[in-house]
Amino acid sequence: MAMREIVVDGDPILRKKSRPVEKFDEKLATLLDDMAETMYFENRGIGIAAVQVGILRRIFVVDVGDENGKIEFINPEIYERNGTQLFMEGCLSCPGKNGYVERPERIRVRAQNRNGEWFDMEATDLLAVCICHEYDHLDGILFIDKVVEVEEEELEDGEEE
C-alpha cells in the first residue's frame, strides 16, 4: 500500500466525468488499498473518490465509522433517493472549507465490489451523505457547488483575524 497525493480544487481533473471500471484486476485492488490508506491518513477523511488521487474511474471508498466499516463502491448507481437532510460537509480536495449541503435522508445504491460482484444497499444519515458526496465526484461535482450555508473556519488561538 502507498499514500497517493490528493488533487485539490482548482485542478481541472476534479471537474471531469469518471469512466466505468472494466477490469477487476490487481491494479484495481492496489488502487483501492492506496485510496483507503490516503483517506485514513488525512484527518477526518470518511470518503475518497478515485479522481481525488488523479484516476478518472468510477470508484470511491467510504468509512463513516459505523458498523459497516470500509465499503468500496465501483461503478455505483444511486437509484432511489428519499427525504432530505442538511449536513455540514468538507472535502479532502477543498482544504479549509466546510458548508451545509442538502442531501437525501435515505438512498438505495448498487455497485460492484473489487471482485466485480454486484451488491445493493440502503444507506441513511451520515452514510447517505457521504455516498452522495463521493458519487458527485464521479461526475465532476464538488460539495462547494451545492453549499447552502457557508461555515467560517474558526481561528485557532493566536491566529490573527
The SS3 call for residue 20 is: coil
Q: Which residue has the cell 477523511?
A: 45
Find the shortest distance in angstroms from Cβ 92 to Ni ion. Answer: 6
**d(Cα 33, Cα 51) in Å, to the nearest integer?**
15
**d(Cα 63, Cα 65) in Å, to the nearest integer?**
5
21 versus 91: smaller Cβ distance to Ni ion: 91
- Of 64, 91, 111, 131, the one binding Ni ion by CB under 5 A: 91
65 versus 158: smaller Cβ distance to Ni ion: 65
**d(Cα 114, Cα 67) in Å, to the nearest integer?**
20
Q: What is the DSSP letter of 117?
A: -
Find the shortest distance in angstroms from Cβ 158 to Ni ion. Answer: 29
116 versus 140: smaller Cβ distance to Ni ion: 140
Q: Is 89 assigned a catalytic role?
A: no
Catalytic residues: 134
The contact set with Ni ion (CB under 5 A) reads 91
